[in-house]
Amino acid sequence: MTVQLSAEQVLDEHSLASVLSIDFFDTLITRSVAQPTHVFAVMEQELVATRGTAWRGFAVARVESELLARQGIESANEHRDVTFDEIGYQLTKQLELTRADRDMVMALERDIEIRLVQSVPFGVAITEAARSRGLRVVVVSDNYMPAEHLLNMAHAAGYVWLSASDIFVSCEHGGMKHNGMLWPVVLSALNVPTHSVLHVGDDEHADGNVPASLGIFTHVRDTMRRSHRDMINTSPAVLALSRIESCYRNAMDETGWDSAEVIGGGLIAMIVAAQVIDARSVLEQRSVAGVHFAARDGYLAHRVWNILKSHDWGLPNATYTAFSRSVVWRACLTEITRENVGRFVGDDEVLTVARLERRVGSALASDLDREKPIDAATARDVVLVNADAVLSASKTLRTRLLTYLQSHGVLIPGHHIVVDLGWTGSTIADLAELVAGESGDLGTLEGRLTGLYWDASPQRMRIAMHGFAMDEFGSITDNLRLLGVIKLLEALVTAPHGSVVGYEDDGTPIFVETAPELAAYDVVMRQVGDAAVRGAIAILEGTHPSGVTAADITKESLWAAIMQVGHSPRIDEINLLSRVNHVTSIDHEGNGRPLIAVTPKDPSSVELRDLPGMYDTLIHRHWMQGSLRALWSKPESAWIADEVYKRWPMTAPRWVP
């Protein structure tokens, strides 16, 4: 973490300055959303609520209009900034607005900017300190809004001492900070030499390099833009996470940005809150014999459930139930054939007989060296030769699993819900069949899942399921995007213990701990989980400082949050999670795979024909978007990411329709 200089320290460092020039947006003021374009999301929310669904998509159109207006200025080789009226003109064209509607939305934008404005504590501190030292304070901003509007915003944020003559804004002076052409206007108006001015802003180029090259003292402080993501992904659905992240941005202004805390208290808190909200919604609608949070994806929600229960929420007892894909499948196994043996051994796995024995839970007769690596085909042959022993072990496992389920109340007759992340429902469907068979069809299970993609369809014959944020009825592109982020979510929504690989005779679950997972837990996941629990409780109890409550956790907002982090991550999130390996093998042994795929050693040697294989690997085995962004962030490998974005458009950073 980088500790920022205080206002006094900044002024002390530039004690010769007689004028403090300060950037406006994200230095003097900010808004109660994570990035500037989200103001348009608030506008769209209000327009749809008051004027109907025809206004859906307004926010994206507003972003695009500004880009078009800027392109127009650039193509005309003009040095000035775009104006608010020019943006309004583009918006009118794009949305085919009437004159009255155009005037209405432009007035609404001004109004909402004023409603959302907040002062930046550092901005307050440095302007107060400068004024008390007798410095003149002026605002120098690259923006399309007229000075009169900036003045109104500044007054709303508490800078009541500021006057119109103190504001120099690019759209009114024919030049910009960015291209250096606004500074002569400012210096001439102030009638001071360059070395008398200290400029403070958040843009390395426009507020740092450019004025510094003119001899102006500069200080760049970009803490208010650390919560920014891609501009285009702007819709009302992003506002829940946006508000939470804006709170973190403000709170971490002095202390430094803590990515694990923000991911945990943001996206993961929303997922956990959604798991609890969803389980509660079932209880409100029907009689339920048991609520079961699945290990490990339901660990955090189970913690939250118990805390809320202790806060007199009137919640019934809920269990934390340990089962996994591999144990449920093995427990249900009745035959081993060439067709199903592949579920014991993945196509590209290299195992040993010893590891295979642990995997199937039985000694295996083989002439092979028990510790010598064998390929998948050989491993499958070993399992087939030992089919009887493997089936016997499965039978024992089934008995132990049933003992465990009995002790956790899953076999009580009636309707049970199982809360899990997702994604195909096959494990819960296997479990449902086991429960139905054991209870004489008196026990039914319903899967309450965060997300489901198209593979879930066949499971619907076996179990009723609900995907909170996504299911196979979403678009194919969204289904694929979900597939690309599930490794990220599985890694983050987790427990401090390994996956269950078997049970003792008395039903006690046996968890396997892997070194990579333990290390990742200590470094990242523990903090993420703790922040998520705190955040979810605050959301659910209505005490979150962002104002986000349970009512804000909807299908749309949760999907948007998953996409905001999972599909359009920031570089700080990629840096944090590049330390995490995710173990997915059936026995949960081995080192797993890194969440962020390793960048090829020599990106220039990658050929176009390699891309389909690369895409396939990224979407199935890694966090696809994290990996693509990591490639994109490095000049030598950026072309690979660009090429993937082009060939598979749904991978491109834009996910808002």
Shortest distance, position 304 Cβ to other proteins, whole Å? 20
Among 93, 311, 473, 620, binds other proteins (CB under 8 A): 473
Cβ-in-10-Å burial (0-12, 13-18, 19+) of 567 comes to: buried
1 binds other proteins (CB under 8 A): no
11 binds other proteins (CB under 8 A): no
Do residues 305 and 315 touch, judged by C-beta distance below 8 A? Answer: yes
Shortest distance, position 415 Cβ to other proteins, whole Å? 7
Shortest distance, position 418 Cβ to other proteins, whole Å? 12
**Three-state SS string across 154-222, please?**
HHHCCCCCCCHHHEEEHHHCCCCCCCCCCHHHHHHHHCCCHHHEEEEECCHHHHHHHHHHCCCEEEECC
3-state class (DSSP) for residue 291: strand
Within positions 135 to 164, which residues make up the interface with other proteins, using CB under 8 A? none
652 binds other proteins (CB under 8 A): no
340 binds other proteins (CB under 8 A): no
Tell me whether residue 341 or residue 492 sits nearer to other proteins (CB atom). 341
In angstroms, how far is CA 338 from the centroid of its own chain?
40
Tokens in use for 326? 């591999």
Among 128, 455, 541, 589, binds other proteins (CB under 8 A): 455
Number of residues that bind other proteins (CB under 8 A): 27
Among 471, 517, 573, 587, binds other proteins (CB under 8 A): 471
> In angstroms, what CA-CA distances link 591 with 442, 552, 582?
42, 38, 8
Tell me whether residue 304 or residue 456 sits nearer to other proteins (CB atom). 456
Among 255, 475, 543, 604, binds other proteins (CB under 8 A): 475
Cα-based angle 301, 304, 306 (whole degrees, multiple of 5) = 110
Shortest distance, position 479 Cβ to other proteins, whole Å? 7
479 binds other proteins (CB under 8 A): yes
463 binds other proteins (CB under 8 A): yes
Tell me whether residue 447 or residue 535 sits nearer to other proteins (CB atom). 447
454 binds other proteins (CB under 8 A): yes
Shortest distance, position 554 Cβ to other proteins, whole Å? 11
Tell me whether residue 242 or residue 557 sits nearer to other proteins (CB atom). 557
| Contact characters 402-431, other proteins, x per CB under 8 A | -------------x----------------
490 binds other proteins (CB under 8 A): no
Residue whose token pair is 């608030």? 42
Among 11, 270, 336, 445, binds other proteins (CB under 8 A): 445
Distance CA 439, CA 449 (A): 24
Tell me whether residue 381 or residue 556 sits nearer to other proteins (CB atom). 556
Among 236, 290, 474, 569, binds other proteins (CB under 8 A): 474
Nearest alpha carbon to residue 360 among 348, 338, 345: 345
560 binds other proteins (CB under 8 A): no
Among 94, 457, 578, 599, binds other proteins (CB under 8 A): 457
Q: Which stretch binds other proteins (CB under 8 A): 42-50, 153-161, 469-477, 605-613?
A: 469-477
Nearest alpha carbon to residue 408 among 440, 447, 435: 435
Shortest distance, position 539 Cβ to other proteins, whole Å? 22
3-state class (DSSP) for residue 592: coil
51 binds other proteins (CB under 8 A): no
Cα-based angle 510, 512, 515 (whole degrees, multiple of 5) = 160
Enumerate the β-bridge partners of residue 136. 19
460 binds other proteins (CB under 8 A): yes
Shortest distance, position 476 Cβ to other proteins, whole Å? 5
Tell me whether residue 278 or residue 517 sits nearer to other proteins (CB atom). 278
Nearest alpha carbon to residue 415 among 350, 379, 463, 376: 463
Distance CA 499, CA 511 (A): 5
Distance CA 90, CA 83 (A): 11
Among 64, 222, 472, 572, binds other proteins (CB under 8 A): 472
Tell me whether residue 95 or residue 154 sits nearer to other proteins (CB atom). 95
Strands (E), 408-558: 414-420, 443-451, 464-470, 499-503, 509-512
556 binds other proteins (CB under 8 A): no
Residue whose token pair is 């804006």? 246
Within positions 365 to 404, which residues make up the interface with other proteins, using CB under 8 A? none
Other residues' Cβ atoms within 10 Å of the Cβ of residue 126: 28
In angstroms, how far is CA 213 from the centroid of its own chain?
38
Amino acid symbol at 488 = L
Among 446, 552, 573, 587, binds other proteins (CB under 8 A): 446
79 binds other proteins (CB under 8 A): no
Q: Which stretch binds other proteins (CB under 8 A): 14-22, 255-263, 464-472, 623-631?
A: 464-472
Shortest distance, position 559 Cβ to other proteins, whole Å? 12
| Contact characters 257-296, other proteins, x per CB under 8 A | ------------------------xx--xx----------
Amino acid symbol at 278 = D
Enumerate the β-bridge partners of residue 451. 470
Shortest distance, position 326 Cβ to other proteins, whole Å? 20
> In angstroms, what CA-CA distances link 574 with 33, 72, 350, 596?
22, 34, 29, 8
Tokens in use for 427? 């494990």
Tokens in use for 610? 């390699």
562 binds other proteins (CB under 8 A): no
The sign of the dihedral angle between the CA atoms of 333, 379, 622, 248 is positive
Distance CA 233, CA 64 (A): 11
Distance CA 504, CA 357 (A): 17
Tokens in use for 588? 């949960």
Amino acid symbol at 497 = H
Q: Which stretch binds other proteins (CB under 8 A): 220-228, 293-301, 465-473, 522-530?
A: 465-473
Nearest alpha carbon to residue 586 among 424, 297, 358, 354: 358
Tell me whether residue 286 or residue 601 sits nearer to other proteins (CB atom). 286
Tell me whether residue 35 or residue 479 sits nearer to other proteins (CB atom). 479
> In angstroms, what CA-CA distances link 169 with 55, 81, 132, 650?
30, 9, 25, 38
Shortest distance, position 281 Cβ to other proteins, whole Å? 7
Distance CA 70, CA 40 (A): 17
Shortest distance, position 278 Cβ to other proteins, whole Å? 9
Q: Which stretch binds other proteins (CB under 8 A): 42-50, 261-269, 459-467, 592-600?
A: 459-467
Q: Which residues bind other proteins (CB under 8 A)?
A: 281-282, 285-286, 415, 444-446, 454-455, 457-458, 460-466, 471-476, 479, 555
